[in-house]
């Protein structure tokens, strides 16, 4: 299991903010492509499939017949699986421009210091030094992206433009995605917005980070 770390966010807010591949609810907020949080195959322990051998010596057992014979039922396939190899990020500089336009900040604003310091981890290129662009959306890149945009979400400019949620949620999503959110999209945030255990500052951070980590904002 990948452990995500975002400073100053509660456990539930962090879970909502960091899952960028599905609907908002408890698993994936406002990403539009329902799926649980991604895991890197290299960081996930290998699992050994359960044996289907018949200990009576009569040959292998058909898993589909296990439930009828009193054995455990086969688990259903996960309907929300997303192949991250199919997700292609917008170039770093396009994402950076989007953030500047959304926040109304210049490229050299201190709010972008972390983003620019980690730009190559986020897929930017420097051909002169042998760094090629990388538009894959990996678990580690999601983590770096969230750490980089959190200062933007906390900037005075963003607080002034979108001061309070849920009142300013439609305006944020419209500005970020270029379309007016429908009722279903707004409903994706109900759990996060309705959590009485989250203070207003953390709620603002969580909603902002969630919206700007969604595929609608970062992917092609």
Q: How confident is the model at residue 83 (pLDDT cuts 50, 70, 90)?
A: low
With 90 as the cut, is the pLDDT of residue 50 above it?
Answer: no
SS (H, E, C) the chain: CCCCCCCCCCHHHHHHHHCCCCCCCCCCCCCCCCCCCCCCHHHCCCCCCCCCCCCCCCCCCCHHHCCCCCCCCCCCCCCCCCCHHHCEECCHHHHHHHHHHHHCCCCCCHHHHHHHHCCCCCCCCEHHHCECCCCECCHHHHHHHHHHHHHHHCCHHHHHHCCCCCCCHHHHHHHHHCCCCCHHHHHCCHHHHHCCCCCHHHHHHHHHHHHHHCHHHHEC
Question: What was the pLDDT predicted at 65?
Answer: 47
Q: What is the pLDDT of residues 130-160, one digit of tens each?
A: 999 999 999 999 999 999 999 999 999 999 9
Tell me the per-residue pLDDT of 174-207, one tens digit each, with 9 for 90 and over.
999 999 999 999 999 988 888 878 899 999 999 9
pTM higher than 0.95: no
**Using one digit for the tens of pLDDT, what is the confidence trace for 113-129?**
999 999 999 999 999 99
| Residue 40, pLDDT above cutoff 50 | no
Position 85 scores a pLDDT of: 60
The predicted model gives 100-112 an average pLDDT of: 98
CA angle 157, 216, 21 (to 5 degrees): 115
């Amino acid at each position: 299991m990948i452990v995500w770390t975002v400073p100053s966010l509660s456990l539930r807010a962090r879970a909502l903010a960091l899952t960028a591949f599905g609907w908002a609810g408890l698993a994936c907020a406002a990403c539009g492509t329902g799926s649980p949080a991604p895991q890197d195959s290299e960081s996930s322990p290998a699992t050994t499939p359960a044996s289907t051998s018949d200990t009576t010596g009569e040959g292998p057992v058909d898993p589909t017949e296990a439930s009828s014979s009193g054995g455990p039922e086969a688990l259903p396939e996960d309907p929300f699986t997303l192949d991250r190899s199919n997700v292609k990020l917008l170039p770093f500089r396009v994402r950076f421009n989007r953030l500047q336009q959304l926040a109304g900040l210049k490229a050299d604003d201190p709010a972008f210091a972390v983003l620019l310091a980690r730009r190559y981890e986020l897929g930017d290129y420097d051909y002169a030094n042998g760094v090629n662009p990388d538009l894959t959306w990996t678990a580690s890149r999601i983590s770096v992206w969230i750490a980089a945009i959190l200062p933007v979400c906390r900037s005075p400019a963003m607080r002034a433009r979108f001061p309070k949620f849920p009142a300013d949620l439609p305006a944020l999503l419209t500005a970020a995605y270029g379309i007016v959110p429908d009722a279903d999209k707004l409903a994706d945030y109900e759990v996060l917005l309705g959590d009485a255990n989250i203070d207003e500052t953390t709620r603002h951070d969580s909603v902002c980070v969630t919206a700007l980590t969604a595929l609608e904002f970062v992917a092609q």
